[in-house]
């Protein structure tokens, strides 16, 4: 009997691996194993996914599990490199699913199919999971130790954007011969002719006794571009309107202005996504290290803008002269249902969550954070209470599903469902694939014309990585693309939800917030009218069909706690609606 196999592989591009080459050798190893037993009929390959990410959060692996649950067109899965597929206890969490659905698992390390009743096979796979975890930890320790030594002993610039006041300059070929052959160069910080004098001015004025806000006002009044306006291409999320207190404080606390390289100011901590579901794995969180953990270069490695004594005096002034604080604050995480959705009607900035009198509020303190030099009329504080908004907001949303409105709402939902043929994310990925294939054809022609093979290989590897990432986006879109629903199906789904107002009222704060975000809700508070303007406007591709703007390709769980029979993530978008809410 000929066995139909699905191939699964994974590659991480963090260490500049070639996704296409990695796929090819993993697939070749798999085919060598199953050559006399069958052939590969389907392929699932994750690109750019860390091995520590569980299967259910990897796009291709998650798709493979979904296919197995829904009825696979193959009898077994073959993996060419188990250490790339399984990390830690992932084998123990994944293989039982294969056994339950009658799907075999073949790996070279056991010479064929894994026997679920064989203790030796289970031990071997568990060992490989532990080895995979150990290998990743060893790499992490080795890389961090090497970077600490490079920063401390060599004072090497280890990447990232240069701090305001500096720019990057060439420092010669890379000391690693292989990287130097590929054209890699070292970089070093040098003073920025425009921004460097501003850093000196900030320190001088602060040491002369001017406050942070006064310094920000003076710079704004003199027409000096703030950091986000000085480099707008790398700060698209900032308005660049004026200097802020935060920008001044960050500059005053940056030790690299003394001419020494400083590394390890931040670290990545891996925290559990859900303490009640450890199988979901961890996610990385950036956190600040104590100053004692910073790694300083022993020598001055770039031109200093500030003397060491001036820098230390500024740190003493920032910390209140070194005196201990009279009290400590315990950080408490508050739940804000409308976090990121409420905008100030005066300056259009997002309002911040603020907990007052045991109630959640949203506030805008633009004039207290940014030096506007009296160019914008803005109240010192703009406040709106969450409790004043939610009842009217939920009632408005529930009203869209009342008997007199349901037909109109359902018709709008039917019209606004996405069309896979016009999805801009998928179309953009396909455009990138076509461009990459055109470039590869030109590179082959250049190679045949006598261009340096090493140079062509570098170009080809880069283009192949872009092409592989675009292919992954296309596959992910194909997997997540839902079929349009007709009016009858939408009616049944809405009826399953029941009382929308009650459902929203019972939902957990995070789930409720997710509903509002997926609806495309935007709230704008006009303080002079004490009115909140609410609007939802969802395009055909904004209800779970696009990609995260940060490039996250991992599948996310559906919204919980809304109804036992239906999930709100299955409801098509509503189109555009508006509401005016009075707040007193």
Q: What CATH number does the domain containing 255 carry?
A: 3.90.1750.20
Q: Are residues 437 and 411 in the same domain?
A: no
On whether the CB atoms of residues 79 and 9 are closer than 8 A, the answer is yes
Residue 117 reports pLDDT greater than 80:
yes
Six token digits for residue 330: 């315990």
Q: Cβ(564)–Cβ(497) under 8 Å?
A: no
To the nearest 10 degrees (0 to 180), the angle between helices 487-497 and 403-415 is 130
Which pLDDT value is given to residue 134? Answer: 85
* Cβ contact 6:64 at 8 Å: yes
Report the C-alpha gap between 6 and 417 in whole angstroms.
32
Confidence of residue 503 (pLDDT cuts 50, 70, 90): confident
Q: What is the mean pLDDT of residues 87-95?
A: 89
User: Does residue 360 share a domain with residue 344?
Assistant: yes
The number of helix segments (H) and strand segments (E) in the chain equals: 19, 18
Buried b (16+ CB within 10 A) or exposed e, 71-110: ebebbbbbbbbbbbbbbbebbebbbeebeeeebbbbbbeb
By residue range, what is the domain housing residue 457?
Answer: 424-470
Give whichever of 365-369, 414-418, 421-425, 476-480 has the largest mean pLDDT: 365-369
Tens digit of each residue's pLDDT (9 = 90 or more) over 3-33: 999 999 998 865 557 788 889 999 999 999 9
DSSP letter string, 58-82: SHHHHHHHHHHHHH-SSSEEEES-H
At 44, phi and psi to the nearest 5?
Answer: -135, 120
| Nearest-10 crossing angle of helices 90-100, 119-149 | 140
Averaged pLDDT, 386-394: 85
Q: Confirm whether 290 is domain-assigned.
A: no
Q: What is the mean pLDDT of residues 156-173?
A: 87
Q: Which residue has the higher pLDDT, 354 or 581?
A: 354
Q: Which two tokens stand for residue 183?
A: 């054209």
Neighbouring C-beta atoms of residue 426, cutoff 10 Å = 22
At 405 the three-state DSSP class reads helix
* Residues 287, 266 contacting (CB under 8 angstroms): yes
Q: What local confidence, expressed as pLDDT, does residue 45 receive? A: 92
CATH number at 8 reads 3.40.50.1390
135 CB-near residues (< 8 Å, 6+ apart): 83
State the Cα–Cα distance between residues 248 and 61, nearest whole angstrom: 46
Per-residue pLDDT at 569 exceeds 70: no
408: CB partners within 8 A, 6+ apart:
none
For residue 495, the tally of other CB atoms under 10 A from its CB is: 12
Percent of the chain beyond pLDDT 70? 79
* pLDDT reported for residue 40: 93
Average confidence (pLDDT) over 508-528: 81
Whether 407 and 451 share a structural domain: no
Question: Please, what is the Cα angle at 348 between 342 and 351, to 5 degrees?
Answer: 35
Is residue 190 predicted with pLDDT exceeding 70?
yes
- pLDDT-derived band at 507 (thresholds 50, 70, 90) equals confident
CA dihedral 328, 333, 336, 341 (to 10 degrees): 80
d(CA 478, CA 158) in angstroms, rounded, equals 38
Q: Is the pLDDT of residue 111 over 80?
A: yes
507 compared with 142, residue with greater pLDDT: 142
pLDDT(272) > 90: no
Count of structural domains, the chain: 4
Residues 417 and 455 reside in one and the same domain: no
Same domain, 389 and 455: no
| pLDDT for 475 | 66
Q: Is there a domain that residue 220 lies in?
A: yes
- 107 and 21: one domain? yes
Token pair listed for 360: 């959640």
What residues have CB less than 8 Å from 519, skipping those under 6 apart? 397, 536, 538, 573, 574
Q: pLDDT tens for residues 310-346?
A: 998 998 888 875 443 444 445 556 778 888 889 888 8
- Give the pLDDT score at 71: 87
Residue 280 binned pLDDT confidence (cut-offs 50, 70, 90): confident
Which is more confident, 7 or 232? 7
Quick one: 134 and 226 in the same domain? no
Residue 457, pLDDT > 50, answer: yes
205 CB burial (10 A radius; 0-12, 13-18, 19+):
middle
With respect to residue 235, please indicate whether it lies within any of the assigned structural domains: yes
Are residue 368 and residue 434 in the same domain, yes or no? no
pLDDT band at 543 (very low <50, low <70, confident <90, very high): very low
Examine residue 91 and state whether it is found in any structural domain, yes or no.
Answer: yes
- Report the distance separating Cα 544 and Cα 553, nearest Å: 12
Which pLDDT value is given to residue 379? Answer: 79
Per the prediction, the chain carries an average pLDDT of 79
For residue 201, the model assigns a pLDDT of 94
Question: Is residue 330, in this structure, part of any structural domain at all?
Answer: no
Q: Which of 429, 470, 463 is nearest to 446 (CA)?
A: 463
Whether residue 67 lies inside any domain: the answer is yes
In this prediction, residue 453 has a pLDDT band, given cuts at 50, 70 and 90, of low
Q: Residue 271's pLDDT is what? A: 83
For residues 372 and 450, state if they share a domain.
Answer: no
3-state secondary structure of 119: helix
pLDDT tier for residue 114 given thresholds of 50, 70 and 90: very high
Residue 2 has pLDDT above 80, yes or no: yes
CA distance 341 to 525: 11
User: Is residue 29 domain-resident?
Assistant: yes
202: left (phi over 0), alpha (psi -120 to 50) or beta: alpha
Name the token pair of 95: 């293989």
Quote the DSSP letter at residue 244: B
Q: Is residue 149 a part of any domain in this protein?
A: no
Q: How far apart, in Å, do the first and last CA atoms of the chain sit?
A: 76
Cα–chain-centroid distance for residue 345? 29
| CA gap 64, 45 in Å, rounded | 10
Looking at the fold, whether 417 and 428 belong to one and the same domain comes out as: no
Please give the Cα distance from 38 to 43 (Å, whole number).
14
User: What 3-state class would DSSP assign to 417?
Assistant: coil
pTM for this entry: 0.54
CB atoms within 10 A of CB 214: 14
Q: How far apart are CA 246 and CA 260, in angstroms?
A: 23
The model's confidence at residue 545, banded by pLDDT at 50, 70 and 90, is very low
pLDDT the model gives residue 329:
47
Decide which of 445, 470, 495 is a domain's last residue: 470
Q: Is the pLDDT of residue 583 over 70?
A: no
Residue 455 shares a structural domain with residue 540? no
By CB neighbour count within 10 A (0-12 exposed, 13-18 middle, 19+ buried), where does 407 fall? exposed
At 25 the pLDDT is 92
Query: Between the CA of residue 117 and those of 88, 97, 103, 113, what are the distances in Å?
Result: 21, 15, 14, 12
Average pLDDT over residues 58-62: 90
Q: Verify that 517 and 560 share a domain, yes or no.
A: yes
Burial-class residue 224 by CB neighbours within 10 Å (0-12, 13-18, 19+). Answer: middle
């Amino acid at each position: 009997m000929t066995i139909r196999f699905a191939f699964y592989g994974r590659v991480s591009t963090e260490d500049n691996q070639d996704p296409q080459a990695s796929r090819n050798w993993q697939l070749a190893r798999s085919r060598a194993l199953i050559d006399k037993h069958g052939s590969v009929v389907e392929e699932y390959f994750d690109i750019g996914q860390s091995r520590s990410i569980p299967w259910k959060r990897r796009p291709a692996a998650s798709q493979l599990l979904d296919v197995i649950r829904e009825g696979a067109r193959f009898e077994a899965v073959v993996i060419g490199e188990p250490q790339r597929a399984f990390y830690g206890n992932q084998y123990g969490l994944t293989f039982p699913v294969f056994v339950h659905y009658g799907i075999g698992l073949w790996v070279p390390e056991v010479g064929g199919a894994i026997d679920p009743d064989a203790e030796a096979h289970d031990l071997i796979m568990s060992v490989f999971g532990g080895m995979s975890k150990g290998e990743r930890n060893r790499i992490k320790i080795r890389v961090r130790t090497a970077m600490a030594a490079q920063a401390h002993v060599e004072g090497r610039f280890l990447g990232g954007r240069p701090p305001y006041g500096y720019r990057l300059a060439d420092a010669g070929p890379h000391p690693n011969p292989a990287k130097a052959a590929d054209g890699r160069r070292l970089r070093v910080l040098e003073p920025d002719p425009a921004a460097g004098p501003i850093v000196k001015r900030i320190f001088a004025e602060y040491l002369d006794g001017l406050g942070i806000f006064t310094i920000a006002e003076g710079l704004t009044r003199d027409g000096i571009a703030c950091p986000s306006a000085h480099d707008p291409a790398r700060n698209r999320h900032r308005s660049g309107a004026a200097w802020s207190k935060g920008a001044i404080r960050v500059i005053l606390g940056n030790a690299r202005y003394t001419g020494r390289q400083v590394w390890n100011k931040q670290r990545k901590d891996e925290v559990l996504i859900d303490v009640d579901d450890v199988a979901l794995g961890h996610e990385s969180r950036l956190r600040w290290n104590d100053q004692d953990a910073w790694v300083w270069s022993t020598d001055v490695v770039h031109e200093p803008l500030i003397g060491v004594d001036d820098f230390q005096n500024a740190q003493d002034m920032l910390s209140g002269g070194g005196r201990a604080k009279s009290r400590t604050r315990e950080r408490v995480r508050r739940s804000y249902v409308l976090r990121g959705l409420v905008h100030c009607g005066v300056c259009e900035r997002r309002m911040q969550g603020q907990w007052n009198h045991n109630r959640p509020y949203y506030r805008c303190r633009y004039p207290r954070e940014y030096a506007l030099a009296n160019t914008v009329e803005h109240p010192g504080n703009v406040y709106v209470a969450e409790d004043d908004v939610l009842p009217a907001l939920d009632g408005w949303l529930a009203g869209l599903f009342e008997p007199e409105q349901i037909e109109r709402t359902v018709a709008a939902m039917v019209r606004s469902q996405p069309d896979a043929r016009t999805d801009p994310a998928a179309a953009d990925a396909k455009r990138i694939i076509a461009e990459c294939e055109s470039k590869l054809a030109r590179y082959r022609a250049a190679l045949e014309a006598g261009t340096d093979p090493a140079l062509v290989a570098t170009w080809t590897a880069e283009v192949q990585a872009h092409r592989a990432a675009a292919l992954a986006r296309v596959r992910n879109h194909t997997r997540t693309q839902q079929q349009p629903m007709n009016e009858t199906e939408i009616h049944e789904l809405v009826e399953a939800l029941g009382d929308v107002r009650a459902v929203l009222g019972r939902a957990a704060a995070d789930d409720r917030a997710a509903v509002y975000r997926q609806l495309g809700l935007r709230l704008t508070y006009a303080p002079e009218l004490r009115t909140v303007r609410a609007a939802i406007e969802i395009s055909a591709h904004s209800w779970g069909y696009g990609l995260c703007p940060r490039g996250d390709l991992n599948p996310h769980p559906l919204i919980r706690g809304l109804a036992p029979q239906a999930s709100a993530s299955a409801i098509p978008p509503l189109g555009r609606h508006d509401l005016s809410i009075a707040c007193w």
